[in-house]
Amino acid sequence: MPATRADSADFRSIFLSGAPLMDVRAPVEFAKGAFPGAVNLPLMNDGERHEVGLRYKQAGQVAAIELGHTLVHGDHKAGRVAAWTDFARAHPQGYLYCFRGGLRSQVVQQWMHEAGVDYPRITGGYKAMRTFLIETLDAAGEAPLYVLGGLTGSGKTDVLSDLPAAIDLEGHARHRGSAFGRRAAGQPGQIDFENAVAIDLLRREAAGHAALVVEDESRFIGSRDVPRALYARMQHSPVVWLETPFDERVERALRDYVLGLCAEYVAEQGEEAGFAAYADRLRDGMQAISRRLGGERHGKLSELLEAALARQAEDGEVDPHRGWISALLRDYYDPMYDYQREARESRIVFRGDRSEVTEWLRDRTGAGGPVASMPAADLAAGRAG
Protein backbone atom coordinates (compact mmCIF):
# COMPACT_ATOMS: atom_id res chain seq x y z
CA MET A 1 0.00 0.00 0.00
CA PRO A 2 1.22 3.56 -0.72
CA ALA A 3 1.58 6.20 1.96
CA THR A 4 -1.62 6.91 3.87
CA ARG A 5 -3.93 9.29 2.01
CA ALA A 6 -6.15 11.80 3.78
CA ASP A 7 -9.93 11.67 3.96
CA SER A 8 -11.48 13.85 1.26
CA ALA A 9 -14.46 16.06 0.56
CA ASP A 10 -13.20 17.02 -2.91
CA PHE A 11 -16.15 15.44 -4.69
CA ARG A 12 -15.34 17.04 -8.02
CA SER A 13 -11.87 15.51 -8.16
CA ILE A 14 -13.15 12.16 -6.96
CA PHE A 15 -15.77 11.93 -9.71
CA LEU A 16 -13.53 13.37 -12.42
CA SER A 17 -10.77 10.89 -11.64
CA GLY A 18 -13.09 7.89 -11.57
CA ALA A 19 -11.63 6.90 -8.21
CA PRO A 20 -12.76 3.41 -7.09
CA LEU A 21 -15.53 3.67 -4.50
CA MET A 22 -16.28 1.23 -1.68
CA ASP A 23 -19.81 1.74 -0.39
CA VAL A 24 -20.24 0.31 3.12
CA ARG A 25 -23.95 1.10 3.42
CA ALA A 26 -26.43 -1.76 3.78
CA PRO A 27 -27.59 -3.44 0.53
CA VAL A 28 -31.07 -1.91 0.78
CA GLU A 29 -29.53 1.57 0.83
CA PHE A 30 -27.23 0.76 -2.08
CA ALA A 31 -30.19 -0.52 -4.13
CA LYS A 32 -32.03 2.79 -3.69
CA GLY A 33 -29.22 4.75 -5.28
CA ALA A 34 -25.50 4.40 -5.98
CA PHE A 35 -22.68 5.81 -8.08
CA PRO A 36 -21.43 4.22 -11.32
CA GLY A 37 -18.87 1.54 -10.61
CA ALA A 38 -19.23 1.69 -6.81
CA VAL A 39 -18.88 -1.67 -5.03
CA ASN A 40 -21.16 -2.48 -2.10
CA LEU A 41 -19.20 -4.09 0.77
CA PRO A 42 -21.46 -3.33 3.73
CA LEU A 43 -20.53 -3.06 7.38
CA MET A 44 -23.96 -4.50 8.23
CA ASN A 45 -26.46 -6.46 6.21
CA ASP A 46 -30.08 -5.30 6.00
CA GLY A 47 -31.23 -7.33 9.00
CA GLU A 48 -28.37 -6.15 11.20
CA ARG A 49 -28.91 -2.54 10.19
CA HIS A 50 -32.61 -2.83 11.04
CA GLU A 51 -31.89 -4.21 14.50
CA VAL A 52 -29.28 -1.56 15.25
CA GLY A 53 -31.67 1.16 14.09
CA LEU A 54 -34.37 -0.07 16.46
CA ARG A 55 -31.91 -0.18 19.36
CA TYR A 56 -30.79 3.37 18.57
CA LYS A 57 -34.40 4.64 18.76
CA GLN A 58 -35.06 2.73 21.97
CA ALA A 59 -31.82 3.19 23.91
CA GLY A 60 -29.56 5.67 22.13
CA GLN A 61 -26.26 5.61 20.25
CA VAL A 62 -24.09 3.82 22.79
CA ALA A 63 -26.50 0.89 23.05
CA ALA A 64 -26.80 0.75 19.26
CA ILE A 65 -23.02 0.64 18.85
CA GLU A 66 -22.75 -2.14 21.40
CA LEU A 67 -25.39 -4.16 19.56
CA GLY A 68 -23.59 -3.57 16.27
CA HIS A 69 -20.36 -5.00 17.70
CA THR A 70 -22.31 -7.97 19.05
CA LEU A 71 -23.93 -8.68 15.68
CA VAL A 72 -20.77 -8.23 13.61
CA HIS A 73 -18.08 -10.28 15.28
CA GLY A 74 -16.04 -13.45 14.86
CA ASP A 75 -16.14 -14.96 11.39
CA HIS A 76 -18.69 -12.38 10.18
CA LYS A 77 -16.34 -9.55 11.08
CA ALA A 78 -13.26 -11.33 9.73
CA GLY A 79 -14.92 -11.97 6.38
CA ARG A 80 -15.99 -8.37 5.97
CA VAL A 81 -12.61 -6.99 6.99
CA ALA A 82 -10.96 -9.33 4.47
CA ALA A 83 -13.26 -8.07 1.70
CA TRP A 84 -12.50 -4.44 2.57
CA THR A 85 -8.74 -4.91 2.71
CA ASP A 86 -8.78 -6.90 -0.54
CA PHE A 87 -10.61 -4.01 -2.20
CA ALA A 88 -8.15 -1.48 -0.79
CA ARG A 89 -5.13 -3.44 -2.02
CA ALA A 90 -6.69 -3.89 -5.47
CA HIS A 91 -7.72 -0.21 -5.65
CA PRO A 92 -5.09 1.85 -3.81
CA GLN A 93 -6.46 5.15 -5.18
CA GLY A 94 -10.01 4.56 -3.96
CA TYR A 95 -12.16 5.74 -1.07
CA LEU A 96 -14.78 4.30 1.25
CA TYR A 97 -17.97 5.92 2.45
CA CYS A 98 -21.21 5.30 4.31
CA PHE A 99 -24.38 7.38 4.20
CA ARG A 100 -23.15 10.50 5.99
CA GLY A 101 -19.44 9.74 6.28
CA GLY A 102 -19.83 9.18 10.00
CA LEU A 103 -19.86 6.28 12.39
CA ARG A 104 -20.10 3.34 9.99
CA SER A 105 -17.27 4.45 7.73
CA GLN A 106 -15.15 5.31 10.77
CA VAL A 107 -15.71 1.82 12.18
CA VAL A 108 -14.69 0.30 8.85
CA GLN A 109 -11.58 2.48 8.78
CA GLN A 110 -10.67 1.44 12.31
CA TRP A 111 -11.11 -2.26 11.67
CA MET A 112 -9.09 -2.00 8.47
CA HIS A 113 -6.36 -0.13 10.36
CA GLU A 114 -6.25 -2.92 12.92
CA ALA A 115 -5.80 -5.34 10.00
CA GLY A 116 -2.82 -3.29 8.80
CA VAL A 117 -4.51 -1.29 6.00
CA ASP A 118 -5.22 2.44 6.11
CA TYR A 119 -7.83 3.65 3.63
CA PRO A 120 -9.39 7.11 3.28
CA ARG A 121 -13.08 7.85 3.59
CA ILE A 122 -15.18 10.47 1.89
CA THR A 123 -16.21 13.17 4.34
CA GLY A 124 -19.96 13.65 4.25
CA GLY A 125 -20.46 10.26 2.63
CA TYR A 126 -23.09 9.34 0.06
CA LYS A 127 -25.45 12.13 1.10
CA ALA A 128 -22.90 14.90 0.46
CA MET A 129 -21.80 13.37 -2.84
CA ARG A 130 -25.39 13.02 -4.00
CA THR A 131 -26.07 16.65 -3.08
CA PHE A 132 -23.03 17.70 -5.12
CA LEU A 133 -24.33 15.81 -8.15
CA ILE A 134 -27.81 17.31 -7.79
CA GLU A 135 -26.18 20.75 -7.82
CA THR A 136 -24.28 19.71 -10.95
CA LEU A 137 -27.57 18.79 -12.64
CA ASP A 138 -29.14 22.07 -11.54
CA ALA A 139 -26.20 23.94 -13.09
CA ALA A 140 -26.92 22.18 -16.40
CA GLY A 141 -29.63 24.79 -16.85
CA GLU A 142 -26.85 27.22 -17.78
CA ALA A 143 -24.78 24.85 -19.94
CA PRO A 144 -24.46 25.75 -23.67
CA LEU A 145 -26.10 22.92 -25.60
CA TYR A 146 -26.83 21.76 -29.10
CA VAL A 147 -29.82 19.44 -29.43
CA LEU A 148 -29.53 16.74 -32.09
CA GLY A 149 -32.83 15.98 -33.81
CA GLY A 150 -33.87 13.65 -36.59
CA LEU A 151 -36.49 11.13 -37.64
CA THR A 152 -36.65 7.68 -36.04
CA GLY A 153 -33.79 5.52 -37.28
CA SER A 154 -31.77 8.46 -38.60
CA GLY A 155 -28.74 7.48 -36.53
CA LYS A 156 -28.65 10.14 -33.84
CA THR A 157 -27.05 7.78 -31.34
CA ASP A 158 -24.36 6.89 -33.87
CA VAL A 159 -23.53 10.58 -34.29
CA LEU A 160 -23.36 11.05 -30.52
CA SER A 161 -20.88 8.19 -30.29
CA ASP A 162 -18.58 10.12 -32.67
CA LEU A 163 -18.67 13.33 -30.61
CA PRO A 164 -16.44 13.78 -27.54
CA ALA A 165 -18.80 16.52 -26.32
CA ALA A 166 -21.96 14.37 -26.39
CA ILE A 167 -24.06 13.19 -23.46
CA ASP A 168 -25.90 9.98 -24.40
CA LEU A 169 -29.03 10.22 -22.27
CA GLU A 170 -30.57 7.10 -23.80
CA GLY A 171 -27.38 5.19 -23.08
CA HIS A 172 -27.50 6.22 -19.43
CA ALA A 173 -31.21 5.37 -19.27
CA ARG A 174 -30.64 2.01 -21.04
CA HIS A 175 -33.63 2.71 -23.26
CA ARG A 176 -33.94 3.83 -26.89
CA GLY A 177 -36.67 6.31 -26.10
CA SER A 178 -39.61 4.87 -28.06
CA ALA A 179 -42.39 2.36 -27.44
CA PHE A 180 -39.95 -0.29 -28.71
CA GLY A 181 -36.98 1.12 -26.83
CA ARG A 182 -36.82 -1.06 -23.72
CA ARG A 183 -33.58 -3.04 -23.46
CA ALA A 184 -33.03 -6.58 -22.21
CA ALA A 185 -31.10 -5.45 -19.13
CA GLY A 186 -33.83 -3.12 -17.91
CA GLN A 187 -33.46 0.49 -16.80
CA PRO A 188 -31.42 1.80 -13.88
CA GLY A 189 -33.19 3.41 -10.95
CA GLN A 190 -33.98 7.11 -11.27
CA ILE A 191 -31.26 8.10 -8.79
CA ASP A 192 -28.66 5.92 -10.53
CA PHE A 193 -29.63 7.49 -13.85
CA GLU A 194 -29.31 11.01 -12.47
CA ASN A 195 -25.97 10.24 -10.86
CA ALA A 196 -24.57 8.84 -14.12
CA VAL A 197 -25.78 11.84 -16.14
CA ALA A 198 -24.37 14.30 -13.60
CA ILE A 199 -20.93 12.66 -13.60
CA ASP A 200 -20.92 12.59 -17.41
CA LEU A 201 -21.82 16.29 -17.50
CA LEU A 202 -19.08 17.05 -15.00
CA ARG A 203 -16.46 15.22 -17.06
CA ARG A 204 -17.50 16.67 -20.44
CA GLU A 205 -17.51 20.18 -19.05
CA ALA A 206 -14.12 19.66 -17.40
CA ALA A 207 -12.73 18.69 -20.81
CA GLY A 208 -13.25 22.28 -21.89
CA HIS A 209 -15.84 21.84 -24.63
CA ALA A 210 -17.38 25.05 -25.93
CA ALA A 211 -20.79 23.39 -25.80
CA LEU A 212 -22.28 19.95 -25.20
CA VAL A 213 -24.57 17.87 -27.42
CA VAL A 214 -27.64 15.86 -26.41
CA GLU A 215 -30.27 14.04 -28.41
CA ASP A 216 -33.71 15.59 -28.69
CA GLU A 217 -35.66 13.69 -26.02
CA SER A 218 -39.11 13.80 -24.50
CA ARG A 219 -39.51 14.42 -20.77
CA PHE A 220 -39.22 10.69 -20.09
CA ILE A 221 -36.86 8.11 -21.58
CA GLY A 222 -38.78 4.96 -20.89
CA SER A 223 -39.63 5.39 -17.20
CA ARG A 224 -36.64 7.58 -16.41
CA ASP A 225 -37.22 11.29 -15.95
CA VAL A 226 -34.71 13.57 -17.70
CA PRO A 227 -33.23 15.91 -15.04
CA ARG A 228 -35.43 18.98 -14.87
CA ALA A 229 -32.84 21.74 -15.41
CA LEU A 230 -31.22 19.89 -18.29
CA TYR A 231 -34.56 19.23 -19.96
CA ALA A 232 -35.57 22.87 -19.59
CA ARG A 233 -32.30 23.93 -21.19
CA MET A 234 -32.91 21.54 -24.09
CA GLN A 235 -36.20 23.32 -24.87
CA HIS A 236 -34.36 26.59 -25.54
CA SER A 237 -31.18 25.40 -27.25
CA PRO A 238 -30.19 25.39 -30.94
CA VAL A 239 -31.24 22.28 -32.85
CA VAL A 240 -29.13 20.43 -35.42
CA TRP A 241 -31.24 18.21 -37.71
CA LEU A 242 -29.85 14.90 -38.99
CA GLU A 243 -31.17 13.91 -42.43
CA THR A 244 -30.99 10.25 -43.43
CA PRO A 245 -32.53 8.40 -46.42
CA PHE A 246 -35.58 6.28 -45.62
CA ASP A 247 -33.94 2.97 -46.63
CA GLU A 248 -31.00 3.61 -44.28
CA ARG A 249 -33.41 4.33 -41.45
CA VAL A 250 -35.20 1.04 -42.05
CA GLU A 251 -31.89 -0.83 -41.94
CA ARG A 252 -30.81 0.93 -38.75
CA ALA A 253 -34.13 0.14 -37.07
CA LEU A 254 -33.71 -3.48 -38.16
CA ARG A 255 -30.21 -3.51 -36.66
CA ASP A 256 -31.25 -1.98 -33.34
CA TYR A 257 -34.76 -3.28 -32.70
CA VAL A 258 -34.50 -6.74 -34.27
CA LEU A 259 -30.94 -8.03 -34.58
CA GLY A 260 -29.51 -6.10 -31.64
CA LEU A 261 -32.44 -6.58 -29.30
CA CYS A 262 -32.71 -10.29 -30.05
CA ALA A 263 -28.98 -10.74 -29.38
CA GLU A 264 -29.31 -8.94 -26.04
CA TYR A 265 -32.12 -11.21 -24.83
CA VAL A 266 -30.44 -14.39 -26.08
CA ALA A 267 -27.18 -13.43 -24.35
CA GLU A 268 -29.06 -12.81 -21.12
CA GLN A 269 -31.56 -15.68 -21.08
CA GLY A 270 -30.34 -18.28 -23.56
CA GLU A 271 -31.51 -19.18 -27.06
CA GLU A 272 -35.08 -20.34 -26.48
CA ALA A 273 -36.13 -18.19 -23.53
CA GLY A 274 -34.26 -15.21 -24.93
CA PHE A 275 -36.01 -15.35 -28.29
CA ALA A 276 -39.40 -15.69 -26.58
CA ALA A 277 -38.67 -12.65 -24.37
CA TYR A 278 -37.46 -10.64 -27.37
CA ALA A 279 -40.62 -11.51 -29.34
CA ASP A 280 -42.82 -10.50 -26.40
CA ARG A 281 -40.90 -7.22 -26.14
CA LEU A 282 -41.74 -6.36 -29.77
CA ARG A 283 -45.37 -7.35 -29.23
CA ASP A 284 -45.52 -5.16 -26.11
CA GLY A 285 -44.12 -2.24 -28.09
CA MET A 286 -46.76 -2.62 -30.78
CA GLN A 287 -49.49 -2.91 -28.16
CA ALA A 288 -48.28 0.23 -26.39
CA ILE A 289 -49.13 2.36 -29.42
CA SER A 290 -52.25 0.45 -30.47
CA ARG A 291 -54.68 3.23 -29.58
CA ARG A 292 -52.69 5.83 -31.51
CA LEU A 293 -52.38 3.49 -34.49
CA GLY A 294 -56.07 2.74 -34.59
CA GLY A 295 -57.61 -0.71 -34.60
CA GLU A 296 -57.29 -1.54 -38.30
CA ARG A 297 -53.72 -0.31 -38.71
CA HIS A 298 -52.64 -1.97 -35.46
CA GLY A 299 -54.13 -5.24 -36.64
CA LYS A 300 -52.30 -5.15 -39.97
CA LEU A 301 -48.95 -4.24 -38.40
CA SER A 302 -49.37 -6.92 -35.75
CA GLU A 303 -49.96 -9.51 -38.46
CA LEU A 304 -46.78 -8.41 -40.24
CA LEU A 305 -44.86 -8.59 -36.96
CA GLU A 306 -46.13 -12.09 -36.13
CA ALA A 307 -45.26 -13.37 -39.59
CA ALA A 308 -41.78 -11.88 -39.32
CA LEU A 309 -41.21 -13.41 -35.87
CA ALA A 310 -42.38 -16.81 -37.10
CA ARG A 311 -39.95 -16.67 -40.03
CA GLN A 312 -37.10 -15.54 -37.79
CA ALA A 313 -37.81 -18.37 -35.34
CA GLU A 314 -37.91 -20.89 -38.17
CA ASP A 315 -34.68 -20.11 -40.01
CA GLY A 316 -33.20 -16.89 -38.63
CA GLU A 317 -34.29 -14.82 -41.64
CA VAL A 318 -35.05 -11.21 -40.62
CA ASP A 319 -35.98 -9.70 -43.99
CA PRO A 320 -39.77 -9.89 -43.27
CA HIS A 321 -39.28 -7.48 -40.37
CA ARG A 322 -38.61 -4.72 -42.89
CA GLY A 323 -42.33 -4.77 -43.76
CA TRP A 324 -43.72 -3.67 -40.41
CA ILE A 325 -40.72 -1.42 -39.71
CA SER A 326 -41.19 0.46 -43.00
CA ALA A 327 -44.91 0.88 -42.47
CA LEU A 328 -44.46 2.02 -38.87
CA LEU A 329 -41.83 4.59 -39.80
CA ARG A 330 -43.75 5.94 -42.79
CA ASP A 331 -47.26 6.02 -41.35
CA TYR A 332 -46.72 6.56 -37.63
CA TYR A 333 -43.32 7.90 -36.56
CA ASP A 334 -42.59 10.20 -39.50
CA PRO A 335 -45.81 12.23 -39.25
CA MET A 336 -45.26 12.59 -35.51
CA TYR A 337 -41.66 13.77 -35.94
CA ASP A 338 -42.65 16.09 -38.80
CA TYR A 339 -44.94 17.86 -36.36
CA GLN A 340 -42.15 18.11 -33.78
CA ARG A 341 -39.73 19.40 -36.41
CA GLU A 342 -42.15 22.15 -37.39
CA ALA A 343 -42.41 23.18 -33.74
CA ARG A 344 -38.59 23.46 -33.57
CA GLU A 345 -38.10 25.08 -36.97
CA SER A 346 -37.08 28.47 -35.60
CA ARG A 347 -34.32 26.82 -33.53
CA ILE A 348 -32.79 24.66 -36.29
CA VAL A 349 -29.35 26.08 -37.09
CA PHE A 350 -27.99 23.32 -39.34
CA ARG A 351 -29.19 20.36 -41.42
CA GLY A 352 -27.08 17.64 -42.98
CA ASP A 353 -26.21 13.98 -43.28
CA ARG A 354 -24.18 12.07 -40.70
CA SER A 355 -20.74 13.23 -41.82
CA GLU A 356 -21.86 16.84 -42.30
CA VAL A 357 -23.61 17.02 -38.94
CA THR A 358 -20.72 15.34 -37.15
CA GLU A 359 -18.17 17.73 -38.66
CA TRP A 360 -20.33 20.78 -37.95
CA LEU A 361 -20.83 19.80 -34.31
CA ARG A 362 -17.16 18.93 -33.84
CA ASP A 363 -16.24 22.40 -35.06
CA ARG A 364 -18.71 24.04 -32.67
CA THR A 365 -18.00 21.96 -29.56
CA GLY A 366 -14.28 21.20 -29.79
CA ALA A 367 -12.38 20.98 -26.49
CA GLY A 368 -10.47 23.99 -25.26
CA GLY A 369 -12.74 26.76 -26.48
CA PRO A 370 -14.46 29.13 -24.05
CA VAL A 371 -18.17 28.88 -23.45
CA ALA A 372 -18.62 32.21 -25.20
CA SER A 373 -17.37 30.68 -28.45
CA MET A 374 -20.87 29.39 -29.25
CA PRO A 375 -21.81 31.54 -32.27
CA ALA A 376 -24.09 34.47 -31.53
CA ALA A 377 -26.60 33.34 -34.16
CA ASP A 378 -26.89 29.96 -32.50
CA LEU A 379 -27.33 31.52 -29.08
CA ALA A 380 -30.05 33.72 -30.54
CA ALA A 381 -31.79 30.66 -31.95
CA GLY A 382 -31.71 29.12 -28.50
CA ARG A 383 -33.26 32.22 -26.92
CA ALA A 384 -35.91 32.31 -29.61
CA GLY A 385 -37.10 28.86 -28.53
Whether 262 is catalytic: no
Of the residues 21, 98, 140, 305, only one is catalytic, namely: 98
Residue by residue, what is the 3-state secondary structure of the chain? Answer: CCCCCCCECCHHHHHHHCCCEEECCCHHHHHHCCCCCCEECCCCCHHHHHHHHHHHHHHCHHHHHHHHHHHCCHHHHHHHHHHHHHHHHHCCCCEEECCCCCHHHHHHHHHHHHCCCCCCEECCHHHHHHHHHHHHHHHHHHCCEEEEEECCCCCHHHHHHCCCCEECHHHHHCECCCCCCECCCCCCCHHHHHHHHHHHHHHHHHCCECCEEEECCCCEECCEECCHHHHHHHCCCCEEEECCCHHHHHHHHHHHHHHHHHHHHHHHHCHHHHHHHHHHHHHHHHHHCHHHHCHHHHHHHHHHHHHHHHHHHHHCCCCCHHHHHHHHHHHHHHHHHHHHHHHHHHHEEEEECHHHHHHHHHHHHCECCCHHHCCHHHHHHHHHC
Residues catalogued as catalytic: 98
